[in-house]
Structure 1
Amino acid sequence: MRRVGYERSGGPDVLELFSAEVPTPGPGELLVKVQAIGVTLPVVRKVRESADPIPLGGEIAGEVVAVGDGVTGYTPGYRVVGLCFGHGYADYAIVAARMASPIPDGASAVDAVALVRSGLVALGAIDAARPEAGETALITAAASGVGHLAVQLARVRGASHVVGAVSDLAKADFVRELGADEVVTYDAAAWGAPADYAVDAVGGELLGPALAAVAPGGRLVAYSSGGGTIQAYDLLAEAKAVIGFQIRRVAETTPEIYRHWRDELWQYFASGQVRPVHTEFALTDAAAAHALVEARANLGKVVLIP
């Protein structure tokens, strides 16, 4: 089978296509014939920054072709989406059965990989803000794989006004089509209407401006892998709150909430309230896919198709 990997850290051009043996599922594992792979910014960053090469894992969707000992509920032929912690950029990949879930009828593997993990992050981050009907929501990275779903989910959760923040106004029409009332760029003097809550996917030097865009008494949910620093006084002066969110913690500590959010997402998809948007690349074009994400030029989810 084919597998994408790298032998030295660096930019997208270090990615190579290798030949590898089809893996064998161990106890509690599924062997999946991969039909779609989600490309995420954290994985792109790891390729550039990791001291030693790591497996390119993450979100995959496809068809179960074999199961390991102790697996119940799945048999060959099931369509699943889940997290692969090993080599996921491949024709076949291993997924722990506990990290997999069925793909409902009427949804494709691409829909699943674009919706489930990114949608779980988006929905979880919004719910962490404890939204109330009629509030104004600010979504940073509003055209990204997570952000474009967060724009839609903020409305589902009752926001009466949604502001999308992006790196380039070329993304504005796309974000408005998703339902945003305003679209601003990060270098704007003000980020639209003061937000009752904001969910920030960017971090770094933009964490401060994101907090400044929140109204007095408002909430900022930070879920970026980009870090960032804010001053305590900026919280005290206007009684603002900052909340950290990590989807992996939810999955591990409160799996019932994780499953509830997942079921909600599929309901929103079936009803048309949430529409995942994606850009497809062939597995052999993984470098181009990484370059698009690294440049933050993607509109919606970037997906590799073996």
Structure 2
Amino acid sequence: MKRVSFAEFGGPDVLQLLDAEEPHAGPGQIRVAVRAAGVNPVDWRVREGQILQAHPIELPAGVGIDAAGVVDEVGAGVDGISVGDNVFGEGSSTYAEFAVLSAWARMPEGLTFEEAAGYPSVVETALRVLREVGVQPGQTLLVSGASGGVGSAVLQIARDRGIAVIGTAGAANQDYLRSLGAVATTYGAGWVERVRQLGPVDAALDLAGSGVIRELVELTGDPAKVLSIADLDAPDLGVRFSGVAGSVPDALAEAADLIARGRLHIPVEKSYPLAEAAAAHIDSHTGHTRGRRVMVI
């Protein structure tokens, strides 16, 4: 099969599309013929060697954790899923023609493979950070860097739970944030005062790692009410950093339910063939995403 991999840590140019041995489903796993794979910031952070403690890997290594595809192999002990089913889920080395998944759910009706590939890890992350930051129905959550995949999921899940949301993003994404139920404002000079004018903030999430931790603590009044998934220096300021390790039980089932009820939709901003994985990482690294980027196989 064809697989995107890298033999050394570095920039996008270390990614190569090569022939590789097909993986096989072990106990409690399934294998899918991948139709699309999600592009996540963790993909290029792993490629750069940034977070080896959370993701120890041996080189050469594949890339990608999210995929949507057709089940073609079911491991021992797996029930309720059959060869030929369409699923989306999380696994490893998903920028490939075949990938093994360790968590999955059936794709909701009406969802394309490209759309489905954009949900797994971002919804798991959104559910996790909402739980960890402790925001409750009736409170107000500030989301810094709200227009990307995780932000899109956080805004919609929070609103479904009765949590008011203020989102910051670039000027071009203000209407997008409003369409997801957020009160929108721009980042840049004066953003703290603009947020203050919108009312008190009970909790805050840093999703972009743009150096705003001090300001988020100032707005909430307590480092314990702030959480970052993108700023590795957050703990130096007393703020919790929540990496990609760990999982939320039934996250994908909850995602499927939200999608089926029309309460969650994350658009695909751009798709790439496997041969353009480097371009996908370059675009992901620049930020300013509205929704998701995916690889199409």
TM-score range, shorter chain: 0.7 to 0.9
- Percent identical among aligned pairs is 28
What is the one-letter code of the residue matched to 2:282? A
What is the rounded CA distance, in whole Å, between the counterparts of 2:89 and 2:191 in structure 1? Answer: 41
What is the rounded CA distance, in whole Å, between the counterparts of 1:186 and 1:29 in structure 2? Answer: 45
Per-residue CA distance 1:133-171 (angstroms, 9 max, x = gap): 3322111221111011112222222133x22123x3333
Q: Does 1:95 align with 2:101?
A: yes
Per-residue CA distance 1:212-237 (angstroms, 9 max, x = gap): 222569822333363424446xxxxx
Aligned mate of 2:230, from 195, 208, 224: 224
Offset, 1:188: 3.4
Aligned mate of 2:146, from 142, 145, 150: 142
Offset, 1:74: 2.5
What is the rounded CA distance, in whole Å, between the counterparts of 2:224 and 2:162 in structure 1? Answer: 16
Which residues of structure 1 form unaligned runs of 5+? 233-241, 252-257
What is the rounded CA distance, in whole Å, between the counterparts of 2:119 and 2:112 in structure 1? Answer: 10
Per-residue CA distance 1:39-84 (angstroms, 9 max, x = gap): 1111111212369543213011111112234433322111222222
Aligned Cα root-mean-square deviation (Å): 2.6
What is the rounded CA distance, in whole Å, between the counterparts of 2:223 and 2:232 in structure 1? Answer: 25
What SS does the aligned partner of 1:111 have? helix
Alignment partner, residue 273 of structure 1? 263
TM-aligned CA distance change 1:218 to 1:25, over 3 Å: closer
Alignment partner, residue 111 of structure 1? 115
What is the rounded CA distance, in whole Å, between the counterparts of 1:149 and 1:101 in structure 2? Answer: 17
TM-aligned CA distance change 1:195 to 1:75, over 3 Å: same
TM-score by length of 1: 0.82
Offset, 1:180: 2.0
Per-residue CA distance 1:18-54 (angstroms, 9 max, x = gap): 1223333334332210011111111111212369543
Offset, 1:187: 4.4
Query: Between Structure 1 and Structure 2, how many residues are aligned?
Result: 285
What is the rounded CA distance, in whole Å, between the counterparts of 2:159 and 2:28 in structure 1? Answer: 38
Alignment partner, residue 246 of structure 2? 249
Offset, 1:111: 3.0
Offset, 1:12: 1.8
Alignment partner, residue 63 of structure 2? 56
What is the rounded CA distance, in whole Å, between the counterparts of 1:113 and 1:42 in structure 2? Answer: 15
Q: Does 1:174 align with 2:176?
A: yes
What is the rounded CA distance, in whole Å, between the counterparts of 1:217 and 1:67 in structure 2? Answer: 45
Map 1:1-16; keep pairs closer than 5 Å: 1-16=1-16
CA contact (8 A) 2:37 2:117 kept: yes
Alignment partner, residue 286 of structure 1? 277
What is the rounded CA distance, in whole Å, between the counterparts of 1:174 and 1:226 in structure 2? Answer: 28
TM-score by length of 2: 0.84
Aligned mate of 2:186, from 184, 187, 197: 184
What is the rounded CA distance, in whole Å, between the counterparts of 1:68 and 1:182 in structure 2? Answer: 46
TM-aligned CA distance change 1:29 to 1:128, over 3 Å: closer
CA contact (8 A) 1:59 1:117 kept: yes
Alignment partner, residue 205 of structure 1? 211
Offset, 1:291: 0.8
TM-aligned CA distance change 1:227 to 1:43, over 3 Å: farther
Q: Does 1:301 align with 2:297?
A: no
TM-aligned CA distance change 1:225 to 1:67, over 3 Å: farther
Offset, 1:205: 3.0
